[in-house]
């Protein structure tokens, strides 16, 4: 039986660097990505996209496109079933005569080549009626605002709550305690409006793409660049009711939480495959990824914050307006997570009243992204916390140490239920990171620079921020571990049957390390099945929310312990010693006290058969994580240019599984619409046309490798009651709290509050009164 209190000591693999299973194939170019893969008879699917932010199609003529040699299908809205709908609640037809954003799909084309498909798109003749558009959540809520979903969403407000997350009641309004009583106890009260509304994109290096093959009825075989085939299947079944999806994934060229379901690509491929009875590949270009794929949420909020004389947060009350873009795609779940992460930062506060509204606008749809909801809320709320800290003259490190969640504190998570934090205490981790960064020397007080150049033209400021997440135990997962004896000799191969994609962080290799550790076999003798694998693997939803370490690690360890117990039982009559005196060694079972008594696994397992262990994880939200982020920035007071000089991220991860993988997760907090969304990552919207002007990697600013600041980490290891190896994941939050730290550092360098994201040179110069 599994026992999380058992201590695994003298570890061979856990906590040590081991080369990833796919490392050699990646660096030699042997790894298969979806772009390398094709299916016999495959066609290529492309979408004609709306040039208008809001319009109706008055007429459409596809005759010329259909007549082009090599074109196999041209589909418009009348060709798709009425019940195929995008969004939650299902509301928007994939092809619709009512177009709601620049890039919305007007028609689908399948052709023998991409070039022919693109030529066919140019031959489709469309007459549009252009309609008024709204481009932010507050504007969409005005009584005179144009209605995007007449008869569906009154006032452009998408219904709150997400049933798959909130099975015991829909949740979008956080209400706890008595906020008025909390404000009465407060010595300092701040009320302001903030927004994080430029909707940057995580921008995975590999654009979204799928291959869809219709297998008859409502059965589809899907190959996808998804980081979670379980999510792909689940959300795909929402779009095509009654459908059955077999999903396979390859190596994923990064995802940053953004390449899960790829619903628009799936529906395009499915419709075209049904029409042509051939597989169809749908691959976005980089321009399409930037101008028509899922972005971060837009976030606007007015909040009132109360802080006591003792430095504790007493009450938080306000309204959070969330911009979903044209389609709400599990966005209600992001709101639930954001509200939960607010309470993790303010873990000692018991008085909360944050209402929310999810608004439809004529912008690119918002969707799943790393920092799911929490980053968008925290980017605003943290700046308000800073205003209150400044009013109270409290060092932010001391504020976070006082207020951050610890063992026994309660919080409402995205399921709408009240949870209690497990045995965690992040004060030592916060302090250790502050000490390693040199916060005591860098922090000079609110609005005070840590250094000014002799000519007074440049100044430096330090900033810090913090964030936590409790999705680490989210969703049910299961796995099988199978021991397969070799035909020759007494060694065995161990196979992990689990649906886990490889999207960059090395999770598959880390799970192999856990198997090798518990079964005491060489790491080289452990392998994993391919993710998805025709749905023959046990169920797993996918990697997101930092859940992989716990929700995959726990079932893997349980399955290995199940195997160990079976082997001990099989060995008992042969060794004639009780199981609690046995150990696994050299692909066999040995008596601890009489090592000469040994039996090989091969002689315990019936010839030509395998021995199988099973493990599962059941959802829990009681384990909150923590990431504290320190940085020093230099601002050119004449040009407004800001440069990040050095960064330090700190956490307590329970137990390090692989140090290099962990370090890479921390480094990942720089880009992917996280830290740099405070400086230059943004969707630049032309409010006259609704078009994204940053549609390539020249206009959409991304930090190149030669601009990376000095990066350091502070990592503590305090075992937590998570699973056998007492570890937790932190990848979800390594960048999600960083943008407010940049804004704080800019304020401390310049002495003026800069609240507009991103803080471009123009924004800073305007705040300084120089333009």
The pLDDT of residue 532: 66
The domain limits of the chain are: 23-31+474-617, 34-131+208-283, 133-194+296-416, 423-466+625-771
Rounded to whole angstroms, how far apart are CA atoms 589 and 742?
56
How many Cα atoms are found within 13 Å in the side-chain-facing hemisphere of 652?
Answer: 19
Which pLDDT tens digit goes with each residue over 479-511? 999 999 998 888 999 999 988 888 878 888 999
Q: What is the pLDDT of residue 534?
A: 54
- CA nearest to 569, candidates 613, 538, 526, 607: 613
Q: How many helices (H) and strands (E) does the chain have?
A: 18, 32
Architecture per CATH, 133-194+296-416: 2-Layer Sandwich (3.30)
Question: What is the C-alpha to C-alpha distance for residues 114 and 283, in angstroms, rounded to an integer?
Answer: 9
Helix segments in 642-737, DSSP class H = 659-667
Instruction: Indicate the burial class of 531 (C-beta count within 10 angstroms; 0-12, 13-18, 19 or more).
Output: buried
Q: Residue 504 to residues 507, 555, 673, 679: CA-CA distances in angstroms?
A: 8, 21, 17, 25
Q: Give kind and range of the element (H or E) at residue 214.
A: strand 209-214
pLDDT value of position 535:
63
> 569-621 pLDDT, tens per residue?
999 999 999 999 999 999 999 999 999 999 999 999 998 899 999 999 999 99
Tell me whether the omega of the peptide bond preceding residue 278 falls within 30 degrees of 0, making it cis: no
160 DSSP 8-state letter: P
* Cα radius of gyration (the chain): 27
Split at pLDDT 50, 70, 90, the class of 6 is: low
Of the candidates 350, 468, 347, the residue with the CA atom closest to the CA atom of residue 405: 347
Closest CA to 265 of 342, 341, 204, 208: 208
pLDDT above 50 (res 453): yes
For 696-751, the pLDDT digits (tens) are 988 998 888 888 999 999 999 999 999 999 999 998 888 888 999 999 999 999 99
User: What is the DSSP annotation of 17-45?
Assistant: ----TTHHHHHHT----GGG---TT-EEE
The single residue listed with the structure tokens 């077999």 is 246
Percent of the chain with pLDDT strictly greater than 90? 79
CA 129, CA 99: separation in Å to the nearest integer? Answer: 10
Select the highest-mean-pLDDT range: 30-39, 101-110, 537-546.
101-110
Q: 727-749: string of b/e by CB count within 10 Å (b at 16+)?
A: bbbbbbbbbbbbbbbbbbbbbbb
In this predicted structure, what is the pLDDT of residue 403? 98
Residue 214 near residue 277 (C-beta atoms within 8 A): yes
Instruction: Output the CA–CA distances (angstroms, integers) from residue 745 to 38, 169, 207, 448, in the order listed.
Output: 49, 41, 33, 10
Rounded (5°) CA angle 134-137-139: 50
pLDDT tens-digit profile of 346-399? 999 999 999 999 999 999 999 888 888 889 999 999 999 999 999 999 999 999
Residue 595 token pair: 């090592």
CA–chain centroid gap for 696, Å, is: 23
> CATH code for 423-466+625-771?
3.30.365.10
pLDDT of residue 324 exceeding 90, the answer is yes
Q: What pTM, to 2 d.p., does this model score? A: 0.94
Per the CB < 8 A criterion, the answer to whether 651 and 715 are in contact is: yes
Choices 3.30.365.10, 1.10.101.10, 3.40.50.1470, 3.40.50.300: CATH for 23-31+474-617: 3.30.365.10
Residue 237's pLDDT band, with cuts at 50, 70 and 90, is confident
For residues 771 and 762, give the distance between their C-alpha atoms in angstroms, rounded to a whole number: 8
Give pLDDT, residue 475.
86
Q: Spelled out in words, what is the top-level CATH class assigned to the domain 34-131+208-283?
A: alpha beta
C-alpha 545/C-alpha 472 separation (Å) is 6
Angle at 386 between CA 733 and CA 172, to 5 degrees: 55
Segment (H or E) for 652: strand 642-652
Report the alpha-carbon distance of residue 392 to residue 403 in Å, rounded.
14
pLDDT, mean over the chain:
93
User: Span 5-14, mean pLDDT?
Assistant: 78
Same fold, 34-131+208-283 and 133-194+296-416: no
- Pick the closest to residue 148 from 368, 324, 331 (CA basis): 324
Measured between alpha carbons, how far is 301 from 196 in angstroms, rounded to an integer?
A: 9
Residue 5: what pLDDT? 45
Task: Name the H helices within 168-296.
Answer: 179-184, 229-239, 263-276, 286-292
**How many residues appear in the chain?**
771
Residue with the bigger pLDDT between 259 and 110: it is: 110
3-state secondary structure of 411: strand
Spatial neighbors of 750 by CB under 8 A, at least 6 apart, are 449, 459, 461, 635, 637, 764, 767, 768
Q: What are phi and psi of 555, to 5 degrees?
A: -65, -35
Distances (CA, A) of 571 to 542, 584, 589: 37, 11, 7
Question: How confident is the model at residue 533, as a pLDDT?
Answer: 60
The residue with tokens 């007494």 is 490
Contact 368, 544 (CB under 8 A): yes
- Rounded Cα distance between 123 and 108, Å, is 12
Of the listed ranges 192-206, 410-424, 520-534, the least confidently predicted one is 520-534
Question: Residue for token digits 């075209």?
Answer: 272
- How far apart CA 416 and CA 211 sit, in angstroms, is 37
DSSP E strands, 458-574: 458-467, 477-485, 492-497, 526-528
**What region does 136 belong to: left with phi over 0, alpha with psi -120 to 50, or beta?**
beta
Q: Are 48 and 125 in contact (CB under 8 A)?
A: no
The rounded distance, in Å, linking the Cα atoms of 591 and 582 is: 5
Quick one: pLDDT at residue 236? 87
Burial of 7 (0-12, 13-18, 19+ CB in 10 A): exposed
Distance CA 252, CA 141 (A): 39
Q: Which residues contact 46 (CB under 8 A, 6 or more apart)?
A: 108, 109, 111, 114, 117, 118, 120, 121, 282
Cα gap 683→199, rounded to integer Å: 6
- The whole-angstrom separation of Cα 396 and Cα 399 is 5
pLDDT at 1: 38
pLDDT tens, residue by residue, 522-533: 999 999 988 766
**Residue 7 confidence (pLDDT):** 65
Nearest Cα residue to 237 out of 388, 451, 83, 97: 83
Whether 123 and 66 have beta carbons less than 8 Å apart is answered as no
């Amino acid at each position: 039986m599994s026992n999380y209190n058992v201590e695994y000591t003298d570890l061979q693999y856990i906590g040590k660097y081991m080369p990833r299973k796919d490392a050699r194939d990646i660096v030699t170019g042997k790894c298969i990505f979806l772009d390398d893969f094709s299916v016999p008879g495959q066609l290529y699917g492309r979408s004609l996209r709306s040039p208008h932010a809001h319009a109706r199609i008055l007429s459409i003529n596809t005759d010329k496109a259909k007549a082009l040699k090599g074109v196999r299908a041209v589909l418009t809205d009348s060709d798709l079933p009425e019940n195929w709908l995008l969004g939650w609640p299902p509301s928007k037809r994939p092809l619709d005569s009512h177009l709601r954003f620049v890039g919305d799909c007007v028609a689908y084309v399948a052709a023998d080549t991409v070039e022919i498909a693109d030529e066919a798109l140019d031959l489709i003749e469309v007459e549009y009626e252009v309609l008024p558009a709204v481009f932010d959540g507050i504007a969409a809520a005005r009584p005179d605002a144009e209605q995007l979903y007449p008869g569906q969403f009154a006032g452009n407000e998408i219904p709150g709550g997400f049933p798959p997350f909130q099975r015991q009641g829909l949740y979008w309004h956080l209400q706890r305690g008595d906020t008025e009583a909390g404000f009465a106890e407060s010595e300092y009260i701040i009320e302001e409006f903030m927004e994080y509304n430029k909707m940057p994109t995580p921008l995975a290096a590999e654009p979204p793409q799928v291959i869809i093959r219709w297998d008859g009825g409502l059965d589809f075989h899907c190959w996808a660049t998804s980081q979670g085939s379980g999510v792909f299947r689940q959300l795909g079944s929402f779009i095509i009711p009654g459908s059955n999806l077999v999903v396979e994934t390859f190596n994923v060229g990064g995802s940053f939480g953004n390449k899960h379901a790829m619903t628009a690509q799936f529906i395009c491929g499915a419709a075209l495959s049904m029409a042509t009875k051939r597989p169809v590949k749908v691959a976005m270009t980089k321009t399409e990824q930037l101008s028509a794929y899922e972005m971060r949420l837009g976030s606007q909020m007015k909040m009132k914050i109360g802080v006591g004389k003792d430095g504790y947060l007493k009450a938080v009350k306000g309204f959070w307006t969330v911009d979903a873009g044209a389609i709400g795609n599990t966005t209600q779940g992001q709101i639930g997570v954001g509200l939960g992460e607010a309470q993790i930062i303010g873990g000692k506060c018991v008085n909360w009243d944050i209402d929310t509204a999810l608004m439809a606008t004529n912008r690119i749809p918002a969707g799943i992204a790393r920092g799911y909801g929490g980053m968008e809320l925290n980017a605003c709320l943290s700046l308000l916390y800073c205003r209150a800290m400044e009013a109270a003259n409290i060092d932010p490190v001391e504020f976070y140490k006082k207020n951050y969640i610890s063992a026994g504190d309660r919080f409402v998570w995205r399921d709408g239920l009240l949870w209690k934090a497990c045995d965690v205490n992040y004060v030592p981790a916060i302090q250790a990171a502050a000490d390693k960064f040199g916060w005591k020397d860098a922090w000079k007080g609110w609005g005070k620079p840590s250094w000014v150049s002799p000519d007074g033209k440049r100044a430096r400021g330090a900033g810090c921020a913090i964030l936590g997440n409790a999705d680490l135990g989210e969703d049910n997962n299961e796995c099988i571990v199978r021991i397969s004896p070799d035909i020759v000799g007494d060694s065995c191969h161990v196979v992990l049957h689990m649906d886990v994609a490889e999207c960059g962080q090395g999770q598959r290799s880390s799970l192999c390390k856990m198997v090798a550790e518990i079964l005491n076999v060489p790491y080289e003798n452990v392998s994993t099945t391919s993710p998805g694998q025709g749905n023959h693997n046990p169920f797993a939803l996918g990697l997101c929310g930092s859940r992989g370490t716990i929700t995959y690690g726990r079932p893997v360890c349980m399955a290995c312990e199940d195997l160990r117990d079976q082997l001990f039982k099989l060995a008992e009559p042969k060794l004639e010693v009780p199981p609690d005196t046995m150990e696994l060694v050299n692909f066999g079972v040995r008596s601890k006290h009489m090592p000469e008594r040994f039996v090989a696994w091969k002689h315990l397992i019936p010839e030509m058969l395998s021995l199988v262990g099973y493990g599962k994880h059941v959802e829990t939200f009681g384990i909150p994580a923590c990431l504290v982020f320190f940085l020093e920035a230099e601002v050119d007071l004449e040009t407004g240019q800001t440069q990040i000089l050095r960064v330090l991220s700190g956490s307590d991860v329970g137990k390090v599984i692989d140090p290099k993988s962990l370090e890479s997760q921390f480094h990942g907090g720089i880009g992917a619409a996280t830290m740099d969304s405070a400086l230059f990552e943004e969707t630049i919207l032309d409010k006259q046309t609704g078009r994204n002007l940053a549609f390539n990697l020249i206009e959409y600013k991304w930090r190149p490798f030669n601009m990376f600041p000095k990066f350091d980490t502070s990592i503590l290891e305090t075992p937590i009651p998570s699973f056998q190896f007492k570890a937790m994941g932190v990848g979800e939050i390594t960048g999600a709290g960083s943008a407010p730290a940049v804004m704080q550092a800019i304020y401390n360098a310049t002495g003026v509050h800069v609240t507009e994201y991103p803080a471009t040179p123009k924004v800073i110069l305007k705040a300084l009164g120089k333009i």
